[in-house]
Each structure stands twice: as C-alpha cells, then as structure tokens.
Amino acid sequence: MGLYTLIVTFLCTIVLPVLLFLAAVKLWEMLLIRRVDPNCGSPLPPGTMGLPFIGETLQLILQRRKFLRMKRQKYGCIYKTHLFGNPTVRVMGADNVRQILLGEHKLVSVQWPASVRAILGSDTLSNVHGTQHKNKKKAIMRAFSRDALEHYIPVIQEEVKSAIQDWLQRDTCVLVYPEMKRLMFRIAMRILLGFEPEQIKTDEQELVEAFEEMIKNLFSLPIDVPFSGLYRGLRARNFIHSKIEENIRKKIQDDDNENEQKHKDALQLLIENSRRSDEPFSLQAMKEAATELLFGGHETTASTATSLVMFLGLNSEVVQKVREEIQEKVEMGMYSPGKTLSMELLEQLKYAGCVIKETLRINPPVPGGFRVALKTFELNGYQIPKGWNVIYSICDTHDVAEVFPNKDEFQPERFMSKGLEDGSRFNYIPFGGGSRMCVGKEFAKVLLKIFLVELTQQCNWILSNGPPTMKTGPTVYPVDNLPTKFSSYVRNES
C-alpha cells in the first residue's frame, strides 16, 4: 500500500505536471502553425517556438549571442522562433537579406517589438511609413550633408581631444566602454540636438544614467507593471523627455525670432519640417524624435569606437599603418598635427576608412533589424506567413559571407580591393540597406575617423585584460568594459 501511494504521489507531483507542460507547449506550437497560409505550398522554416506566450524571449535576453549561434548551427540561415510576443522568422545570408531589405512595402514593413515602440515612440523615423517616413528622412538627411558634416568637425574634434587628454592624465586604467558612451553622448547632444556645453555639463550624469536604464530595457517583455523592464524603461524615457523639452521650447523661440546665425542641427531641421507640414505641431513627437536621434547618434558610435580601441590594441601593426598614412598627408601639406581636420583630409584617409569598415564587419553595433510580413511569401523554399515578424541578422550575415576569407582575422586591407566593394553588397550591411538604410551613416563614419586620427596621434595603449568577451544589449559591448592603460605617443619627427 505504501509503495502504491508513493507511485501515485510521484505521478501526480512530478510526471503529470511535466506531461501537462509538454502538452501545453505542443498545443502552443500547433496553434501558431495553424496561422500559416494553406494556399502556399512551401513549409514553415525549421525551429522551435518555445514556451507558451513567452516563446524564446527569455533565452535570447539571457544568452544573446550564445542563443543565436546555437540556433544558426542547428537550423541554418532561416529558422522560426517566438520572440517579444510574436511568431518570428530569423533570416541571414546575402541572398535572403536582399529580398527582405528590397521588399520594403511589398513583402515586409518595418515593425520593431512593442517594447521598442512604447519607449522610443510610434511616430519616430524608425517606425513611420510612406510619405511620413520620406519627409522625416529628408529633413534629417539635410543635417548629414557634406556641408553640415564639415561644420561638425571642430566640435567633434574638441570633444575627442578633451576626452583623450583626460584618459592620458589618469594613473589607473580607463574603462573604455563607459567613457566612450559619455564622449559620444556629449557629441550627439551638441551636434544633433544643439545643446550648449554648459547645459550638458549640468545634466550629463543624470541623463547618461537615464539613457543607460532606457536602453537596457528597450528590448523587454511588453508588460507595463511596476518594476518590469518596460516600466523602468518608460520611467527613464520620461525623465529624458523632460530635459529635452526645455531645449525644444528654446529652439522654437529662436525660430520665431528668425535666428539665422548658426548651422542648424538635426532637431532644428525636424522642427522646421514639422511646422511647414499640414499636420499640427506635436511637442511629444519632437521629444520622441530627439530621443531617437540621441539613441542612434551615440549608442552605436560608442559601441564601434570601443571596438576600434579593442582591435587596434590587439593589432599594433594596424596602428602603425594608420600613423604612416596620416604622416603621408602631413608631408603632402594636407594636415598639421594638432590642427583642425577637414573633410578633404578625412576622405583621403583610405586605410583608416578600411580599419573602420573591418571593425564594423566583425562587430556591427546593431545585430539586426525588425520587419513584419505584409503578405505570405516564399523565401529560399520556406513560407513566411503574413503577420509574422521577420528579423534580418547583420552579424550572422557577415559571419556566413563567403566573400570574406579568414573572417575571424582583423584584416583592414581586404577593403582596399575595389572588387570586394563591388561584390559585397548585402554580404556587408553594418548600416542596414534599402530605403531604411541608416540615415546617419556618413555622420558615423566622419565621427569615427576623427576619433581614430586623434587616438593614434596622441596615444599608445594596452588592453589590461586582453581580448574581452562581447555581448549584445542592444548594441555590442565588452563584458569587462575594456579596461585600458593609455600613455602619450611621441611622434618620430625624423
């Protein structure tokens, strides 16, 4: 009798719950798969849908690159999963990504997860469509014209020099990633939003911390309850909005007074564009636009600048080649060390540009982009059902690209070949592609090249911990924050 009771107890407390759980998971997958288009003869991609309602979101958030690597090894370049509340197909590889990026408005449309839309806002450039997207993009592109970039160079150079001098004066190691975020934040605040240095100094600490909190919770479960990720992200966002609103009101006042004195920043151009349109002016929309500009303008460049310090710290021969290229320009009379840089000089630094390209190849700051299927379509023999999310992967596409031999090695020279430039479209997509390509890519290139020039001309440096482990959340960063010891570089004048 005792044995019988023990068996029944075991079955009721262990086996039955496990069976019920497995049955619930199976029913969950069957329910989702019923949503496929019966008129399409192609099967769904391979993959698993994870737990009911939660899907595989927690695994992605907790494991990041390890989760994605495991999925790719198991299922290949197209697989199904369930992320951020939606059935999702993840796509990589040049041919597959080409169809997604060039299928905007025909096959797919941009749709970021609900948590991203809630925090950044549904009317931002990354979330709007059609004419609204075209008009906003056109306004922002004016802020990234060659003429505008030329005006930004002295401000960028001033901030970069100041930061590097601070690093050189420290006796202890510098945690590069947090320092880089502060540097790029100041640059973005000044150039993209038109903040004065005194304003930034007053609110910098609080704003940086709020941005940290907002970005950390950008990709979270769409549950707005106290202490949830979305709740914390929204609260941080609201603080940022309150600080930005003061600057927007000042810009509107200056605009009313017909101020024409200085070069206009991206936010000023967006305000002017909004006031010229038929729609009523929305202060909330401007705050959201400013927040998006700050996010796009500093988070991704901070990630890439950190990767630059890392890769150059591990490859001293590359640093030497960058210095030799700059020295050639000095000897040609195009540049004097310590003087203000020019667009003409930056454009002539081809090898430095290749160093940045190679950094973006190995460590693209943004791992991918989100779309939603507008209709059921076929992709490489698989069915992508209408309404399902589609994520195209930038990092995995770079990893599987056969045009990059020895892909694990840092070799900037590979981009010196014109043939590679012509043949790498959609194999190399650090800025995305199609009509949604990053509007600030030229700004990012100029900023990073200025940083690279100043860094190599002023510093030698050693990575205290050697090659770091990299994580994604939401941009790529070193787990140890890249502790580095900087020392002054003494140029050989001979």
Tokens 């509340």, residue located: 85
Dig out the tokens for 3 from the structure: 């044995």
Taking every pair of C-alpha atoms in the chain, what is the biggest distance, in angstroms?
Answer: 98
The separation between CA 444 and the C-alpha centre of its own chain, rounded to angstroms, equals 12
Tokens 């039955």, residue located: 16
First to last CA, the chain: 97
Q: Which strands, in side-by-side order, build the sheet including 108-110?
A: 78-83, 86-91, 389-393, 368-373, 108-110
**d(C-alpha 353, C-alpha 330), whole Å:** 17
Looking at the DSSP bridge assignments, the partners of residue 377 are: 384
- Asked if residues 392 and 371 have their Cβ atoms less than 8 Å apart, the reply is yes
Peptide bond into 474 cis (omega under 30): yes
Q: 383 in helix, strand or coil?
A: strand
**d(C-alpha 327, C-alpha 213), whole Å:** 42
**d(C-alpha 19, C-alpha 308), whole Å:** 51
Phi first, then psi: what are they for 388, rounded to 5°? -80, 150
**d(C-alpha 294, C-alpha 172), whole Å:** 30
- Asked if residues 204 and 187 have their Cβ atoms less than 8 Å apart, the reply is no
CA distance to 128, 161, 367, per residue, from 151 (Å): 29, 17, 31
User: Is 395 annotated as ligand-binding?
Assistant: no
Residue list, annotated binding site:
438
Residue list, annotated binding site for heme:
438
